Amino acid sequence: MGITEKIAGEKITLAHGSGGIQMHNLIRSLFQKRFRNEWLDQMSDSAVIGNPVGDGDALCFTTDSYVVSPLFFPGGDIGKLAVCGTVNDLAVEGATPLFLSCGFIVEEGCEILVLEKVADSMADAARAAGVKIVAGDFKVVEKGKADSIFINTSGIGRRSRSRCFGREHIRAGDKVLINGFIGEHGAAVMAARGNFDLQSDIKSDCAPLNGIISDMLAVSEGIRFMRDPTRGGIATTLNEIAEGANFGITLDEAALPLRDDVKAACEILGFDPLYLANEGKVIAIVSAEDSSCVLDAMRSHTLGRESRIIGEVTASHAGRVVMKTLLGAHRIIDMLSGEQLPRIC
Amino acid sequence: MCLAVPMKIVELKDMEAIVELGGVRRSVSLTLLTEDTLQVGDYVIVHAGFAIQKLDDDDARERLILLKEMLELA
Amino acid sequence: MKYLDEYRDPALAHRILDKIAEACGERSELAAIMEVCGTHTMSIARAGLRSLLGENLRLLSGPGCPVCVTPNDYLDRAIAIARQRDAIIATFGDMMKVPGSSSSLYQERGNGARIEMVYSPLDALKIAEQNPLNKVIFLGVGFETTAPTVAATLAKARADGVKNFFVLCGHKIVPPALFALVNDPELKLDGFLCPGHVSAIIGSRPYEFIARDYGLPCVIAGFEPLDILQGIWMILRQIIEKRGASVEIQYSRAVAAEGNPKAAAFMEKVFEPVDSIWRGLGKIPASGLAIKEEFGDWDAARVIQADVGETREPAGCICGMILRGVRLPMDCPLFRKTCTPENPVGACMVSSEGTCAAYYKYGNG
């Protein structure tokens, strides 16, 4: 997966937006190369941009756009997603999310009632996450130039200077923790699209993570790194963590929290839940000593009842993610390549 | 390759059935089955929206017992 | 989940692995077993079975993935039709990324073609009914498991009088390919793990010539780890006990010796055998299915004109040898270098069930 993969002549496909290798390569070779600076080069979910406010804390800044179809799905909608997603990008950097901006691009003909519902759920989500939406923009484009509603949100948060996170703090022996079932958002949205006619009670896990993360940070200084495994699923996020590092990650298949219905949807369509999106999950890399107290803190929170230790950082297979299968064999887990498509025949 | 999964019949209507696996339901066609004695609760192998074979529950159970015997576990 | 979880039991799997190791120990030479089903390939890779099987046993992946063996001219035709203004292509997700001579359906969708992914050919028929002004072309690809579902859908289209539904037929059947394989002088095999879901339709008899005329054990196996391991063990026992090769059914909960006669009858009603080109293997007599004359009005190849252009096969790849099991993906100079799942060059990388894709994704194990 060369970073210098040729892009000339190629067109953007949906694969470039699916959170896998193609998007990774595009961001690096097209954007990061041109915008290069010390903050962007952190390549984390939020940029930690020092303390321009001068009171000793660091400012974190992030942005994300939301284009989910359908707009409403079991467990959430584009509005809730737009608030939670940006809140979570700040929270996984250890920041307390404070302020959000929101930009709407709305297609001509979109019902105002729909927009109202979306705004309602943004307000609810902002209240739940304890953030204020303090700036906004609203644009309308001709019919066909957008799909109903697109939302961009940017967020600012504050992080105590005494905390530092980074891949460089990760050591062999550290544990990999997650706060519950994987793949729910991806499966819920796929089912809601209705293309495959599957009926289920699968709900998106869409939720603001700043509460549970602050509980985790309160009990431990041993949290090395956090990420929210959204597009591309936990496989892609763990690969981003291990890529180019002097450590590897081993996942334990038997420990993966997977709901029966998500597992069943995957069996039927030939999907791998490791690559399905999550919108209310945090993966935390925690020192072995602190892993049980962090796990306890997670389980005490409503968003963490099913928290598990799902793997471990290893000195072996540096740069790679390997899964110990149910049968005790080991197999390599790669990043998502392109979109996950159902395979039938 | 042919992805097909065992699913349980939860509803029957003419040549169609609602089948279920782990809480996920779908409507499938029964056109390809010879079985005219299908009942709610039976399991079928589902491929591409069709039930392609009824699962033989007795056989499955016996075979697993037999396998365990052969492995000197039973 | 019933019929899945009980066949994933690690303790039982390890008991069978011990038996397999024991059986392998009784022979000095290496045993090579070929699976001819993409779902077996995937399942073996996903569970990491190869790494558990030890040095004395080699699992080869044969031409068991219908997408992988679909030749470029089929894809080029599908793409040419996709470019027509009133066409809607309906396809299984499997076909989306397969490269034709110069494009793929995935790229064509990016260029504005209407391409719908469906779970069932019946869903494609529904799309045709909902879009009476469009031509809806379903890409009929797959072996004997899938062909009856497409046959039944065609029969329904005719019965319901749906005139804007067409099938571009690229179906293939497994036994003639096995015949070609066992006649390959390069191939060194000790047995076949036969495809469970294909056999749910065709039964066990079509494999009998392999056991009878070529002395190779055949076991029809299911797709869960215990099924596959037991299937391998059954093959080894046939070899060791020297009781003469036969066709055995491990997957008897779903496979009867006579298969599914009704599904087979649907196939026979709608399709007829034709010579067919398998990507990587070349032309195999009577190994493909074509839509019969009486269903000609629904046959995209007859009804829909398409300017297909020149078909090129990818150069430099050794997929043919990998499909025949005489080489491994790592032996290919393109593997992991120019040929990756994002930019597949050859047949075995294009589908996630392809041997190369499975090796790429799951490592060598």
* A49 vs A139, higher pLDDT: A139
- Distance CA(C328)–CA(C341), nearest Å, equals 17
Report the 3 state secondary structure along chain B.
CCCCEEEEEEEEECCEEEEEECCEEEEEECCCCCCCCCCCCCEEEEECCEEEEECCHHHHHHHHHHHHHHCCCC
Grade residue A80 by pLDDT with cuts at 50, 70 and 90. Answer: very high
φ, ψ of residue C101 to 5 degrees: the values are: -65, -35
Residue A323: its H or E element? strand A321-324
Distances (CA, A) of C359 to B21, B43, C149, C193, C350: 29, 33, 30, 19, 12
C141 and C68 share a domain?
Answer: yes
Residues of C in contact with B53 (CB under 8 A): 200-201, 254-256, 260
Contact criterion met (CB < 8 Å) for C10 and A269: no
Which tens digits make up the pLDDT trace of C212-225?
A: 999 999 999 999 99
Residue C46: its H or E element? helix C38-47
Strands A76-77 and C57-61: unpaired
A41 and A125 share a domain?
Answer: yes
Each residue of A125-163: b (16+ CB within 10 Å) or e?
bbebbebebeeeeeeeeeeeebebbbbbbbbbbbbeeee
* Chain position carrying tokens 């699976």: C35
- Counted domains in chain C: 2
A145 and A192 share a domain?
Answer: no
Residue of chain A nearest B2, judged by CA positions:
A345
Grade residue A2 by pLDDT with cuts at 50, 70 and 90. Answer: very low
Assigned domain for A10 exists: no
C251 and C346 share a domain?
Answer: no
Residue of chain A nearest C143, judged by CA positions:
A345
A145 and A173 share a domain?
Answer: no
Residue C29 burial (C-beta neighbours within 10 Å; 0-12, 13-18, 19+): exposed
The yes-or-no verdict on residue A12 having pLDDT over 90 is no
Going by C-beta distance under 8 Å and a sequence separation of 6 or more, which residues neighbour residue A1?
Answer: A21, A24, A25, A335, C340, C342
Lowest mean pLDDT, pick from A11-15, B19-23, B24-28: A11-15
- Distance CA(A337)–CA(B7), nearest Å, equals 30
Which tens digits make up the pLDDT trace of C146-165?
A: 999 999 999 999 999 999 99
Distances (CA, A) of A184 to A234, A259, C179, C245, C345: 12, 8, 45, 48, 34
* C111 touching chain B per CB within 8 A: no
Which tens digits make up the pLDDT trace of A141-162?
A: 999 998 999 999 999 999 987 7
Neighbours of C364 (CB within 10 A): 13
Distances (CA, A) of C257 to A175, C169, C203, C213, C301: 51, 28, 5, 19, 35
Neighbours of chain C (3+ CB pairs under 8 A): A, B
Going by C-beta distance under 8 Å and a sequence separation of 6 or more, which residues neighbour residue A134?
Answer: A99, A100, A101
A130 and A173 share a domain?
Answer: no
The yes-or-no verdict on residue C361 having pLDDT over 90 is no
C60 and C156 share a domain?
Answer: yes
Grade residue A54 by pLDDT with cuts at 50, 70 and 90. Answer: low
C161 and C199 share a domain?
Answer: yes
Assigned domain for A343 exists: no
Is the link from the previous residue into C329 a cis peptide, with omega within 30 of 0?
A: no
A193 and A286 share a domain?
Answer: yes
The yes-or-no verdict on residue A89 having pLDDT over 60 is yes
Grade residue A1 by pLDDT with cuts at 50, 70 and 90. Answer: very low
φ, ψ of residue B52 to 5 degrees: the values are: -105, -10
Residue C72: its H or E element? helix C72-82
- How is residue A233 written in tokens? 């699923």
Name the residue range of residue A153's domain: 37-159
pLDDT at A4: 41
Contact criterion met (CB < 8 Å) for A342 and C146: no
A279 and A321 share a domain?
Answer: yes
* B10 touching chain A per CB within 8 A: no
A91 and A189 share a domain?
Answer: no
Grade residue A245 by pLDDT with cuts at 50, 70 and 90. Answer: very high
pLDDT at C364: 55
The yes-or-no verdict on residue C231 having pLDDT over 70 is yes
Contact between residue A157 and residue A98 where contact means Cβ atoms under 8 Å apart: yes
Going by C-beta distance under 8 Å and a sequence separation of 6 or more, which residues neighbour residue A101?
Answer: A133, A134, A135, A136, A137, A153, A154, A155
Contact criterion met (CB < 8 Å) for A198 and B27: no
Contact criterion met (CB < 8 Å) for B25 and A198: yes
Q: Look up residue C194 and give its DSSP letter.
A: E
Residue of chain C nearest B57, judged by CA positions:
C253
Mean pLDDT of chain A: 92
A187 and A131 share a domain?
Answer: no
Q: Rounded to an integer, what is the distance from CA C200 to the centroid of its chain?
A: 14
| From C1, C6, C122, residue closest to B64, measured CB to CB | C6
- How is residue C61 written in tokens? 């992946």
CATH of the domain at C89: 3.40.50.11740
Assigned domain for A340 exists: no
- Distance CA(A93)–CA(A210), nearest Å, equals 10
Contact between residue A23 and residue A134 where contact means Cβ atoms under 8 Å apart: no
- Counted domains in chain A: 2
C304 and C323 share a domain?
Answer: no
C93 and C12 share a domain?
Answer: yes
* Chain position carrying tokens 């494009």: C103
C136 and C192 share a domain?
Answer: yes
Assigned domain for A329 exists: yes
- Distance CA(A197)–CA(A230), nearest Å, equals 24
Residue A28 burial (C-beta neighbours within 10 Å; 0-12, 13-18, 19+): middle
pLDDT at A52: 60
φ, ψ of residue B67 to 5 degrees: the values are: -60, -45
Residue C112 burial (C-beta neighbours within 10 Å; 0-12, 13-18, 19+): exposed
* B27 touching chain A per CB within 8 A: yes
A99 and A208 share a domain?
Answer: no
Neighbours of C296 (CB within 10 A): 11
Residue of chain B nearest C91, judged by CA positions:
B48
A221 and A132 share a domain?
Answer: no
Give the highest mean pLDDT range of A4-13, A18-27, C268-277, C313-322: C268-277
Residues of C in contact with B10 (CB under 8 A): none
* Chain position carrying tokens 């793997």: A311
Residue of chain C nearest A260, judged by CA positions:
C1
Q: How many CB pairs under 8 A join B and C?
A: 120
Distances (CA, A) of B44 to A150, A204, B50: 42, 29, 9
Lowest mean pLDDT, pick from A221-225, A299-303, C327-331: C327-331
Name the residue range of residue C73's domain: 1-316
Q: Quick one: which of C146, C168, C126 has its CA closest to C263? A: C146
Distances (CA, A) of A124 to A210, A228, C356: 15, 21, 48
The yes-or-no verdict on residue C326 having pLDDT over 80 is yes
C103 and C66 share a domain?
Answer: yes
Domains of chain B: 5-70 (2.30.30.140)
Contact between residue A271 and residue C93 where contact means Cβ atoms under 8 Å apart: no
CATH of the domain at A95: 3.30.1330.10
Report the 3 state secondary structure along C78-99.
HHHHHCCCCEEEEECHHHCCCC
Among C6, C9, C15, C106, the strongest candidate for a mutation testing the A interface, having the largest count of A CBs within 10 A, is: C106
Contact criterion met (CB < 8 Å) for A1 and C47: no
* C6 touching chain B per CB within 8 A: yes
Going by C-beta distance under 8 Å and a sequence separation of 6 or more, which residues neighbour residue C191?
Answer: C31, C33, C34, C216, C217, C218, C219, C235, C236, C238, C239, C245
- Distance CA(A272)–CA(A276), nearest Å, equals 7
User: Which residues make beta-bridge pairs with A59?
Assistant: A158
- How is residue A237 written in tokens? 């996020």
- Decide: helix, strand or coil at residue C14: helix
The yes-or-no verdict on residue A345 having pLDDT over 60 is yes
C163 and C310 share a domain?
Answer: yes
Mean pLDDT of chain C: 92
Which tens digits make up the pLDDT trace of C5-37?
A: 999 999 999 999 999 999 888 887 888 999 999
Contact criterion met (CB < 8 Å) for C152 and B50: yes
Q: Quick one: which of C9, C10, C38, C7 has its CA closest to C231? A: C7
Number of H helices, E strands in chain A: 9, 14
Instruction: Give pTM, 2 decimals.
Output: 0.92
| From C6, C12, C261, residue closest to B34, measured CB to CB | C261
A147 and A122 share a domain?
Answer: yes
A207 and A284 share a domain?
Answer: yes
Asked whether this complex has an ipTM greater than 0.85, the answer is yes
- The sign of the CA dihedral C59, C62, C66, C68 is positive
C33 and C145 share a domain?
Answer: yes
User: Which residues make beta-bridge pairs with C334?
Assistant: none
Enumerate the H helices of chain A as residue ranges: 21-26, 33-35, 78-91, 112-129, 184-193, 210-219, 233-242, 260-269, 291-300
Residue C257: its H or E element? none
The angle at the Cα of A259, spanning A256 to A264, to the nearest 5 degrees, equals 110
Residues of C in contact with B34 (CB under 8 A): 260-262
C301 and C354 share a domain?
Answer: no
Assigned domain for A29 exists: no
Residue C292: its H or E element? none
The domain boundary residue, chosen from A140, A159, A178: A159
C36 and C160 share a domain?
Answer: yes
- How is residue A33 written in tokens? 């190369």
CATH of the domain at A221: 3.90.650.10
Grade residue A9 by pLDDT with cuts at 50, 70 and 90. Answer: low
Amino acid residing at C257 = A
pLDDT at A115: 95
Strands C135-140 and C165-169: parallel
Find the mean pLDDT for residues C199-208: 98
Mean pLDDT of chain B: 92
